[in-house]
């Protein structure tokens, strides 16, 4: 199914939190929330996997902290699906049975998760799509980054680097894409192809990686090295976990230096690879801000209101209120400014003993 995209990117500043203020009731005639005490509501948070370290290190803690800050008597019921759509369905059903007031859902499979939305809405429980759109017009709100833009930034950085290195036109790129069940992965791929296909460089092969598993990426890239060898001059990897798998395969094959490789999420390990020179770039997304917006939207719903967006996403012809955040390219040149100085990661997290020399070299302290 074709990826569902948010509307045009709008800059989102601190005032965006005001956009999730109360307006109308959740749904006319809906009495399901009448018995809910907004000051002591339980909010369900369902995240898709633990392969991407950001979910446990950034998304979940930022979401929980925001809820506890804005509603001290509220609680968060949390589950991680470990990349299993059936498990996520069971987790959602369990939360609904426990009486959560709202579900904040980052779907393993955007199509399969429509059934979760159907069940929730039938019980009068609103659903907020987090990070990944869900193929249901009954969503109350959606917050994410500009996902096609992420793919554009990754591919443009890769192409620019290859040209900077004077890699000749016609040279080969491997594309290690994200999970085929993730609407975001489709958007990343479309954005990347919009740049690479007109760049003069050749896609030697590409792979949609099941469940975003870095181990699957490593195995696939190892096979491509056997087939293409030195023809591989760049690697488009859709996120940092896939980049890690690709780089591991290249290093195991004795490829040195590792060809320019992209990533996404600005994970600690990716930032370390960037300062060490084995990963060329990543994409920073304001994940903690995204989690805070989702938490504010959830509390708005709990209090009987409708979250407001800065744009809308059309799902089956119905506009879903949406906030779209701006991604940023991160390379060695700006990694300190974007990742460290903003507090996304601390220097202590990055500059472990194995990376202290690189931190000193690049002024990270």
The 10s digit of each residue's pLDDT in 157-213 is 999 999 999 999 999 999 999 999 999 999 999 999 999 999 999 999 999 999 999
In a domain, 3, yes or no: no
* Mean local confidence (pLDDT), 277-298: 97
Q: Kindly state whether residues 156 and 223 are assigned to the same domain.
A: yes
Q: Kindly state whether residues 104 and 157 are assigned to the same domain.
A: no
pLDDT value of residue 59: 97
Q: Kindly state whether residues 133 and 278 are assigned to the same domain.
A: no
Strand 127-130, strand 141-145: pairing: parallel
3 state SS of 232: strand
Q: Kindly state whether residues 220 and 350 are assigned to the same domain.
A: yes
Listed in sequence order, the DSSP H helices in the chain are: 54, 60-70, 85-98, 114-122, 147-164, 183-196, 214-228, 240-252, 268-276, 287-302, 335, 347-350, 356-361
pLDDT value of residue 32: 47
pLDDT value of residue 344: 94
What is the average pLDDT score of the chain? 92
Q: Kindly state whether residues 21 and 131 are assigned to the same domain.
A: yes
pTM here is 0.88
Q: Kindly state whether residues 257 and 269 are assigned to the same domain.
A: yes
Please report which confidence band the pLDDT of residue 51 belongs to, taking 50, 70 and 90 as the band edges.
Answer: confident
Q: Kindly state whether residues 244 and 187 are assigned to the same domain.
A: yes
Q: Kindly state whether residues 51 and 103 are assigned to the same domain.
A: yes
What is the distance between the alpha carbons of residues 263 and 57, in angstroms, rounded to a whole number? Answer: 17
- 78 bridge partner residues: 45
Q: At residue 43, does pLDDT exceed 60? A: yes
Q: At residue 31, does pLDDT exceed 90? A: no
pLDDT value of residue 36: 84
Tokens representing 170 are 């016609």
Q: At residue 268, does pLDDT exceed 90? A: yes
Largest CA distance in the chain: 67
Q: Kindly state whether residues 157 and 185 are assigned to the same domain.
A: yes
CATH assignment of the domain containing 294: 3.40.50.2300
Q: Kindly state whether residues 264 and 200 are assigned to the same domain.
A: yes
In a domain, 6, yes or no: no
Please report which confidence band the pLDDT of residue 12 belongs to, taking 50, 70 and 90 as the band edges.
Answer: very low
3 state SS of 98: helix
In a domain, 96, yes or no: yes
What is the distance between the alpha carbons of residues 253 and 345, in angstroms, rounded to a whole number? Answer: 31
In a domain, 97, yes or no: yes
Q: Kindly state whether residues 225 and 193 are assigned to the same domain.
A: yes
pLDDT value of residue 16: 41
pLDDT value of residue 68: 98
* Mean local confidence (pLDDT), 202-230: 97
pLDDT value of residue 6: 39
In a domain, 86, yes or no: yes
Q: Kindly state whether residues 209 and 225 are assigned to the same domain.
A: yes
What is the distance between the alpha carbons of residues 275 and 330, in angstroms, rounded to a whole number? Answer: 11
Query: CB within 8 A of 274, min separation 6: which ones?
Result: 280, 281, 282, 330, 331, 332, 335
Q: How many domains does the chain have?
A: 2
In a domain, 258, yes or no: yes
Please report which confidence band the pLDDT of residue 56 belongs to, taking 50, 70 and 90 as the band edges.
Answer: very high
pLDDT value of residue 94: 98
Which domain covers residue 111, as residue numbers?
14-145+287-325
């Amino acid at each position: 199914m074709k990826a569902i995209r948010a509307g045009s990117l709008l800059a989102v500043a601190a005032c965006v939190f005001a956009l999730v203020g109360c307006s109308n009731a959740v749904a006319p005639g809906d009495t399901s929330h009448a018995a809910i005490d907004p000051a002591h509501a339980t909010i369900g948070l369902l995240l898709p996997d633990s392969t991407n370290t950001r979910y446990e290190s950034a998304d979940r803690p930022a979401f929980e902290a925001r809820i506890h800050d804005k509603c001290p008597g509220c609680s968060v019921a949390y589950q991680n699906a470990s990349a299993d759509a059936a498990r996520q369905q069971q987790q959602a059903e369990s939360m609904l049975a426990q009486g959560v007031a709202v579900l904040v859902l980052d779907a393993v499979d955007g199509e399969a998760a429509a059934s979760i939305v159907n069940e929730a809405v039938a019980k009068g429980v609103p659903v907020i799509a987090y990070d990944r759109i869900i193929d249901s017009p009954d969503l109350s709100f959606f917050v994410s980054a500009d996902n096609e833009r992420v793919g554009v930034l990754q591919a443009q950085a890769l192409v620019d680097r290859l040209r900077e290195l004077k890699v000749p036109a016609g040279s080969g790129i491997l594309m290690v894409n994200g999970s085929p069940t993730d609407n975001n992965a489709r958007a990343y791929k479309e954005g990347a192809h919009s740049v690479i296909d007109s760049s003069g460089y050749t896609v030697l092969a590409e792979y949609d990686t099941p469940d975003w598993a870095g181990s699957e990426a490593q195995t696939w890239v190892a096979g491509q090295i056997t087939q293409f060898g030195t023809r591989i001059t760049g690697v488009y990897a859709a996120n940092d976990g896939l980049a890690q798998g690709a780089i591991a395969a290249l290093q195991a094959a004795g490829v040195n230096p590792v060809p320019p490789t992209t990533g996404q999420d600005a994970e600690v390990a990716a930032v370390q690879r960037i300062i060490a020179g084995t990963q060329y770039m990543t994409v920073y997304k304001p994940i903690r801000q995204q989690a805070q917006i989702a938490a504010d939207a959830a509390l708005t719903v709990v209090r009987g209101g409708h979250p407001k967006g800065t744009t809308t996403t059309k799902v089956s012809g119905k506009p879903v209120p949406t906030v779209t955040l701006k991604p940023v390219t991160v390379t060695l040149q700006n990694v300190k400014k974007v990742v460290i100085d903003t507090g996304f990661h601390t220097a202590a997290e990055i500059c472990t003993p194995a990376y202290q020399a690189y931190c000193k070299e690049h002024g990270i302290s």
